[in-house]
Amino acid sequence: MTQKLDFQKMSRKELRTYVLNHREDEEALRIYMDRMHNDPGVIRQIGGLNEADLKFLEQAIAKQVKDP
């Protein structure tokens, strides 16, 4: 009998490594995705960025840094 892993106690890096090596483990993937979704330090990108998008983001970041 295999001991069940406690994914909640794994670091994000450990869990990512586990998910990459055990792609069939849907529970681990769900927990990893939930963590990524709820982590405010993770930047998510949908689609590609063009030059206008990059310029807009640079301006928004500069404004945020200037006027926190």
- For residue range 29-49, list pLDDT tens digits in order: 999 999 888 877 766 666 777
Average pLDDT, the chain: 84
Per-residue pLDDT, 39: 79
User: Tokens in use for 68?
Assistant: 């926190």
**Which pTM was predicted?**
0.56
45: left (phi over 0), alpha (psi -120 to 50) or beta: beta
Per-residue pLDDT, 51: 83
Q: For the chain, how many residues are written?
A: 68
**pLDDT band for position 14 (50/70/90)?**
very high
Question: How many angstroms separate the Cα of 11 from the Cα of each of 19, 24, 63?
Answer: 12, 20, 33
